[in-house]
Structure 1
Amino acid sequence: MTAELVRGQNQALAWTQLEIGVEADRALTLGAVLVGAGDTALGGAETVALPGGPGLPGVGVPGPPATSHRLAVDLDALPADTTRLDLFLTLPVDAGAPARFGAFPAPRALLVGPDGAEAARYEVTGLADETAVVAVELYRRRGAWKIRAVGQGYQGGLPALLADRGIDRESAHRLAATARSLSAAPAPAPPRE
């Protein structure tokens, strides 16, 4: 049975290898930030996972902007000083598409177990003019991992979200520009048979 989480609700995780999924009516970019003590990123740009970027220990490389994502996470492989993994969504550049989360139906974040079954779901509601949102976080308390439905939006987009985690302004803007350029790049041509 799938648990329906609401903002602020958490749930204990029964496994350390899982996937975070996203479903939306519009293409979104999925990313992640490794967070340590003091609620700040474990480092700078090297602790942020974006499509096409380098992988993080224990975190798969996010795919390009899409209406459906699956991101593999191995909590045992995260750096030892990781206290939290924030999973965020941003709106890619898309001519003619809404430029804010409040302009389309709420995206859904999914917790998928190692057997491929959906264990929890969170509809990221209550957004208006935000262009980036921390959908869920995986966090460690007393040695055990949990998932929390967050839904914290940022009108200042990805730079504001990253700065809120202690990443310097220049790096935050550079990462946001990288994410925008990936979303604006044309999709690769299908392979020829």
Structure 2
Amino acid sequence: MTAELVRGQNHPLPHSRLEIRVTAGAPVLACATLGDDRGTVLGVEWIAHPGSPTLPGIEVSRQAAAGLRFHVDLEAVPDRAHLVHVLLALPEGVGGPSRFGTTAAPFAAVTATDGTEIASFTITGLEAESAVVALELYRRQGAWKVRAVGQGYAGGLAELFGDQGLPGAREFAAGIQEAVARHMASAIQAPRNSAADGARVRSDRSATATQPGQTAGGAGGAAGAGTTSGAGATPHQLPG
């Protein structure tokens, strides 16, 4: 039976291989941090984010979306890491909401790989915050548990990373946000470019086919020469 957690409540994790499924009222970006026994993130190599989505035992989504999945293998998490924090943040500079208080409350469900739900948490009470620690997976006497956290940060990822002890937190958070914004902008632009290219191809074909004084063979040759192959813009790849 699924445990419906409230803020601060914990629950045992009976499996080491898990998925964490998130739904939100607006596109969010996913990050995960590994912390030592004091919860400190020792460096950027302890952070999974859209531009570098994998850590030992952790994988996050490369894209911002209203539905996300985290993949977790607790047996592969390094021994030095005692905590795994599941983070959500609103993308900046893309015209979306700037705070969680204007969207539906995010919902996180921890499931086994076969889809069986273990625990869930609806992250209520957020207002001015634009980043939140949704869940914490932690070791306790050789076993792993999940805790519902719901700690929000009005200063966004920069404040959140700083609270976890990351050096250069502001610059690192800005780099993540910039890369996500570029990716979202190019993903929107690509279909538009493809549609415009397709219209140009049709226009070129129509103009060539109606040129006067051509034989059927000449018209076909002219159409072949006049046709342009429209290539849609390739979505920007986030830095590795």
Distance 2:53 2:64 in 1: 16
Q: Determine the C-alpha separation between the residues in 2 that align with 1:144 and 1:52.
A: 31
Give the aligned partner of residue 33 of structure 1.
Answer: 33
Distance 2:72 2:141 in 1: 20
Report the equivalent of 1:167. Answer: 166
Larger Rg: 2
Which residue of the partner structure matches residue 61 of structure 2?
62
Structure with the largest fraction of strand: 1
Specify which of 167, 173, 177 is matched with residue 176 of structure 1: 173
Distance 1:187 1:126 in 2: 32
Residue matched to 2:20: 20
- The answer to whether the 8 Å contact 2:89/2:157 transfers is yes
Output the CA distance in 2 between the equivalents of 1:94 and 1:16. 37
- Scaled by the length of structure 1, what TM-score is found? 0.91
Corresponding residue of 2:70: 71
Structure 1 residues 21 and 94, CA gap change in structure 2 (3 angstroms): farther
Partner Cα separation in structure 2 for residue 81 and residue 150 of structure 1: 22
Q: Aligned ranges for residues 140-155 of structure 1 at < 5 Å?
A: 140-155=139-154
Alignment CA distance shift 1:181-1:95 (3 Å): closer
Q: TM-score, normalised by structure 2?
A: 0.74
State the shift of 1:72 in Å.
0.6
Equivalent position of 2:234 in the other structure: none
Corresponding letter in the other structure for 1:184: A
Report the AA paired with residue 73 of structure 1.
Answer: V
Cα offset for 1:163?
A: 1.0
Identity rate of aligned residues, in percent? 47
- TM superposition shift of 1:62: 2.5
- Deviations for 1:6-48, whole angstroms, at most 9, x for unmatched residues? 101110000000011110110000100000122211x211111
Match in the other structure for 2:157: 158
Query: Which protein is richer in helix relative to its size?
Result: 2
Matches for 1:43-192 after TM superposition, within 5 Å = 43-53=42-52, 55-93=54-92, 95-168=94-167, 170=168, 172-185=169-182, 186-187=186-187, 189=190
**Secondary structure, counterpart of 2:147 in structure 1:** strand
Contact persistence 1:92–1:179 (CA under 8 A): no
Secondary structure of 1:93's match? coil
Is there any run of 5+ residues in structure 1 with no aligned partner, and where?
none
Q: Over aligned residues, Cα RMSD in angstroms?
A: 1.8
> Letter of the aligned partner of 1:19 in structure 2?
E
Name which of structure 1's ranges 136-145 and 178-187 shifts more when overlaid on structure 2: 178-187
What's the CA shift for 1:95?
A: 4.0
- What is the deviation of 1:93? 2.2
Task: Check the 8 A contact 1:49/1:62 in 2, yes or no.
Answer: no
Distance in 2 between residues matched to 1:72 and 1:163, nearest whole Å:
25
Q: Distance in 1 between matches of 2:53 and 2:27?
A: 22
**C-alpha distance in structure 2 between counterparts of 1:4 and 1:135, whole Å:** 14
Paired residue secondary structure (2:104): coil
**2: CA distance, partners of 1:63 / 1:124:** 22
Tell me which moved more, 52-61 or 83-92.
52-61
Structure 1: 4+ residue segments shifted above 2 A: 93-97, 188-192
Higher RCO, Cα 8 Å, sep 6+: 1
Q: Identify the residue that residue 11 of structure 1 maps to in structure 2.
A: 11
- Name the CA distance, whole Å, in 2 between partners of 1:176 and 1:101: 18
Residues 52-101 of structure 1, C-alpha deviations (whole Å, 9 max, x = no match) = 21521111142210000111100000110111100010000254422001
